[in-house]
């Protein structure tokens, strides 16, 4: 049960600390955060916008990142040496990011390059990954991407070399490949638990894209039956989904795009229209509040429990311990290689 009086009290304390720190502090919030956190932050955005902000803001000494761990890590990698990045709850991870660990990734890379040769594959790593996977990507001539620039990154990847190995979200990789005109058989899934990822040597030689066998449990919750049910109930509605959804769902939707794309889609929809969204519930609820002239509904209820771990209490605690608690410290050697891959992303046009 929410205690509104207590929350109001905590908000007041947070705002006092925020005011006291002035320009020394920047609070970055992801769109999937609770409303009260987004309201307190200085800047809200999707993972691409937040990383760009972290790289651009060279003044603030303290960056407090209200999002999940890999996002805060990326902010640390892109920040200046005099800046400290803190996350209010270190346990706010991402199960999809955890699906690609460095030992498995290195071993898959060795398997594939021993068959197709070195210099034929560009590694592309989704922002939703550990810093050491980004570092792997950096030292092997690859790039980081987010859901808002995956197409640009794929085009860049194919300009460099003839094949792409995409980590760790198979759905974003598959949806991007299909939208670029690749045939489903040109993309193969790599299951790290199986020999050669569950593929034959011939498949590997023919493949244009290797898709790591990872997925987001929040976005794969949306199913074809949800789309069909909502279409029947709201025949005039538009359905928009995040590209971490399965391709079957993406194919049935009216539009697909990153978190910021979805925000703009709702903003630009005509007054009186109904928009049904397949993404995290906190964003959908906020869009509904911020667009009272439109009906904004969820395709089905799906909450990211990790994003939800950030709350008023741990944000207050972070500000009370500014510069000290839950500091993100990516080791120096990982940082420099991961930064190469992140800088390449920031240099690509969106």
Segment interacting with ligand SF4 (CB under 6 A) among 103-111, 227-235, 304-312, 328-336 = 304-312
The site partner of 46 among ligand 13P, ligand SF4, none (C-beta below 5 to 8 Å per kind) is ligand 13P
Integer Cα distance of 127 and 162 in angstroms? 22
The site partner of 306 among ligand SF4, ligand 13P, none (C-beta below 5 to 8 Å per kind) is ligand SF4
Member of 10, 127, 131, 216 binding ligand SF4 (CB under 6 A): 216
Q: How far is the CB of 242 from ligand SF4 (least distance, A)?
A: 8
Q: Which is nearer to ligand 13P, 86 or 256 (CB)?
A: 256
Q: How far is the CB of 195 from ligand 13P (least distance, A)?
A: 30
Q: Which two tokens stand for residue 327?
A: 């500091």
Binding site for ligand 13P (CB under 6 A): 46-47, 128, 146-147, 216, 244, 258-259
Contact between 221 and ligand SF4 by CB under 6 A: the answer reads no
Q: Which is nearer to ligand SF4, 116 or 281 (CB)?
A: 281
Q: How far is the CB of 122 from ligand 13P (least distance, A)?
A: 20
Q: How far is the CB of 226 from ligand 13P (least distance, A)?
A: 17
Member of 68, 112, 124, 345 binding ligand SF4 (CB under 6 A): 68
Q: Which two tokens stand for residue 86?
A: 């803190």
Q: Which residues contact 21 (CB under 8 A, 6 or more apart)?
A: 62, 319, 322
Q: Which two tokens stand for residue 146?
A: 């987010």
Q: Which is nearer to ligand SF4, 47 or 199 (CB)?
A: 47
Contact between 306 and ligand SF4 by CB under 6 A: the answer reads yes
The site partner of 38 among ligand 13P, ligand SF4, none (C-beta below 5 to 8 Å per kind) is none
Q: How far is the CB of 71 from ligand 13P (least distance, A)?
A: 8
Q: Which is nearer to ligand 13P, 37 or 112 (CB)?
A: 37
Q: Annotate the chain with three-state secondary structure.
A: CCCHHHHHHHHHHHHHHHHHHHHHEEEEEECCCCHHHHHHCCEEECHHHHHHHHHHCCCCCEEEEECCHHHHHHHHHHCCCCCEEECCCCCCCCHHHHCCCHHHHHHHHHHHHHHHCCCCEEEEEECCCCHHHHHHHHHCCCEEECCCCHHHHHHHHHHHCCEEEEECEHHHHHHHHHHCCCCHHHEEEECCCCHHHHCCHHHHHHCCEEEECECCCCCCCCCHHHHHHHHHHCCCCEEEECCCCCHHHHHHCCEECCHHHHHHHHHHCCCCCEEEEECCHHHHHHHHHHCCCCEEEECCCCCCCCHHHCCHHHHHHHHHCCCCCCECCCCHHHHHHHHHHHHHHHHCCC
Q: Residue 297 burial (CB < 10 Å; 0-12/13-18/19+)? A: middle
Q: How far is the CB of 95 from ligand SF4 (least distance, A)?
A: 5
The site partner of 277 among ligand 13P, ligand SF4, none (C-beta below 5 to 8 Å per kind) is none
Q: Which of residues 73-102 bind ligand SF4 (CB under 6 A)?
A: 94-96
Q: Which of residues 105-144 bind ligand SF4 (CB under 6 A)?
A: 128
Q: Which is nearer to ligand 13P, 147 or 282 (CB)?
A: 147
Q: Which of residues 255-294 bind ligand SF4 (CB under 6 A)?
A: 280
Residues that bind ligand SF4 (CB under 6 A): 68, 94-96, 128, 216, 218, 280, 304, 306-307
């Amino acid at each position: 049960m929410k205690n509104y009086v207590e929350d109001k009290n905590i908000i007041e304390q947070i705002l006092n600390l925020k005011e006291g720190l002035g320009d020394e502090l920047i609070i970055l919030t992801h769109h999937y955060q609770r409303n009260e956190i987004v309201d307190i932050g200085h800047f809200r955005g999707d993972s691409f916008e937040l990383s760009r902000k972290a790289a651009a803001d060279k003044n603030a000494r303290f960056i407090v990142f209200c999002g999940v761990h890999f996002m805060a890590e990326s902010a640390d990698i892109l920040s200046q040496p005099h800046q400290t990045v803190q996350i209010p709850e270190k346990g706010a991870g991402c199960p999809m990011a955890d699906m690609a660990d460095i030992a498995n990734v290195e071993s898959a890379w060795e398997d594939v390059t021993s068959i197709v040769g070195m210099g034929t594959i560009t590694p592309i790593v989704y922002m939703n990954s550990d810093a050491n996977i980004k570092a792997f990507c950096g030292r092997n001539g690859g790039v980081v991407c987010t859901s808002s620039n995956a197409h640009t990154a794929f085009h860049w990847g194919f300009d460099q070399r003839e094949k792409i190995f995409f980590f760790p979200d198979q759905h974003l990789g598959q949806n991007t490949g299909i939208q670029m005109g690749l045939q489903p058989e040109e993309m193969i899934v790599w299951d790290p638990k199986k020999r050669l990822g569950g593929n034959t040597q011939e498949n590997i030689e023919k493949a244009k894209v290797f898709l790591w066998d990872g997925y987001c449990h929040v976005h794969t919750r949306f199913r074809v039956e949800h789309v069909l049910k909502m279409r029947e109930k709201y025949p005039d509605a538009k359905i928009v989904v995040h590209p971490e959804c399965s391709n079957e769902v993406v194919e049935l939707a009216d539009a697909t795009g990153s978190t910021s794309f979805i925000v703009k889609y709702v903003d630009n929809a005509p007054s009186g229209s109904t928009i049904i969204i397949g993404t995290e519930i906190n964003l959908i609820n906020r869009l509904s509040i911020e667009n009272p002239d439109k009906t904004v509904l969820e395709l089905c209820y799906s909450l990211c429990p990790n994003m939800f771990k950030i709350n008023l209490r741990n944000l207050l605690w972070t500000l009370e311990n500014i510069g000290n608690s839950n500091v993100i410290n990516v080791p120096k050697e990982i940082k420099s290689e991961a930064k190469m891959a992140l800088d390449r992303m920031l240099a690509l046009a969106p």
